[in-house]
């Protein structure tokens, strides 16, 4: 729930280049248009990058859809953010479908932080852009 009108929340969500302003741990979000579509490259605070394809920005339904295309080998991914009017202001629904499952928990936890970051940006004008430059970082971590 975000105590702001849906159009105000949607104006932030609908701008793929602005995601690093409200997604904690993202350093940059760079959008490029090619003849094959709209693509976005996310750089994270750990030094990793995530390549995504923007599948659709539906202003009528206030729905943003994208999929991760690299560098991880995902058999399937679909991310969907929908902004719905609510008596409190706006309800933001952030959904993920993915296979294989290893990233499930990582994205789940990060998205919970991101929804708080979106609220902070829209309501308080406070950005969550990462303070760590990725020059010294290596990747995403890992190992069991």
Partner 1 sequence: MASRILFVTTDQQRFDALGCNGGRIARTPVIDGLAASGVRYERAHPQNVVCMPSRATMLTGQHIRNHGVWMNGVPLPADAPTVAGLLNDAGWRTGLFGKAHFEPFLDPFLRFPQNRMGVTGATNEDGHPHRGFERMEFAGHGSGGLVHYGGWMREHYPEHMMSFYPPLDGTLDVNADGGGDTGAPQVLRNPVPREIYHTDWVADRAIDWLGGLSDEDDWFCWLSFPDPHHPWDPPDSELHRVPWRDLDLPDGYPSNQTEREVALDAKGAHWRRWYDGDLVSNFEAPARWVPATLTADQVREVDAMAHIENELIDEALGRLLSTVSNRGWDDDLHVLFTTDHGEFQGDHGLLFKGPFHVDALMRLPLVWRPAPTTGIAPSVVNDPVGLVDLAPTFCMIAGIEVPDWMDGAPLPVTPEEAARRQRPAVLTEWDSVHPGGSEVHLQTVTLDGMVCTRYEAGTCHEGVEGELWDLVGDPLQRTNLWDDPVRRALRDDLVAELDALLPERPADPLRTQAPV
Q: Which residues bind partner 1 (CB under 8 A)?
A: 23-26, 44-48, 50, 71-75, 100-106, 108-110, 113, 130, 132, 136-144
Measured from the CB atom, the residue of 17 and 133 that comes closer to partner 1 is: 133
**Nearest distance in Å: CB 19, partner 1:** 12
**Nearest distance in Å: CB 72, partner 1:** 6
C-alpha radius of gyration, the chain, whole number:
15
Measured from the CB atom, the residue of 85 and 109 that comes closer to partner 1 is: 109
Measured from the CB atom, the residue of 57 and 111 that comes closer to partner 1 is: 111
**Nearest distance in Å: CB 106, partner 1:** 5
Measured from the CB atom, the residue of 25 and 89 that comes closer to partner 1 is: 25
User: What is the DSSP track for the chain?
Assistant: -BSS-HHHHHHHHT-GGGHHHHSTTEEEEEEEEETTEEEEEEEETTB-EEEEEEEEEETTTTEEEEEEEESS--SEEEEEEEEEEETTEEEEEEEEEEESSTTHHHHHHHHHHHHHHHHHHHHH------SS-GGG--BS----
**Nearest distance in Å: CB 87, partner 1:** 27
**What distance in Å separates the CA atoms of residue 117 and residue 103, rounded to the nearest whole number?**
20
Measured from the CB atom, the residue of 1 and 102 that comes closer to partner 1 is: 102
**Nearest distance in Å: CB 78, partner 1:** 16
């Amino acid at each position: 729930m975000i105590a702001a009108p849906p159009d105000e929340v949607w104006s932030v969500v609908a701008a793929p280049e602005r995601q690093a302003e409200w997604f904690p741990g993202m350093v940059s979000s760079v959008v490029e248009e090619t003849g094959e579509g709209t693509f976005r490259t996310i750089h994270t605070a750990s030094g990793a990058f995530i390549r995504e394809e923007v599948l659709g920005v539906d202003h009528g339904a206030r729905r943003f859809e994208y999929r991760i295309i690299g560098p991880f080998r995902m058999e399937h991914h679909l991310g969907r953010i929908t902004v719905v009017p609510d008596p409190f202001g706006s309800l933001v629904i952030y959904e993920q479908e993915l296979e294989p499952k290893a990233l499930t928990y990582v994205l789940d936890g990060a998205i919970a932080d991101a929804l708080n970051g979106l609220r902070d940006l829209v309501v308080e004008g406070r950005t969550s852009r990462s303070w760590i430059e990725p020059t010294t970082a290596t990747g995403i971590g890992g190992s069991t």
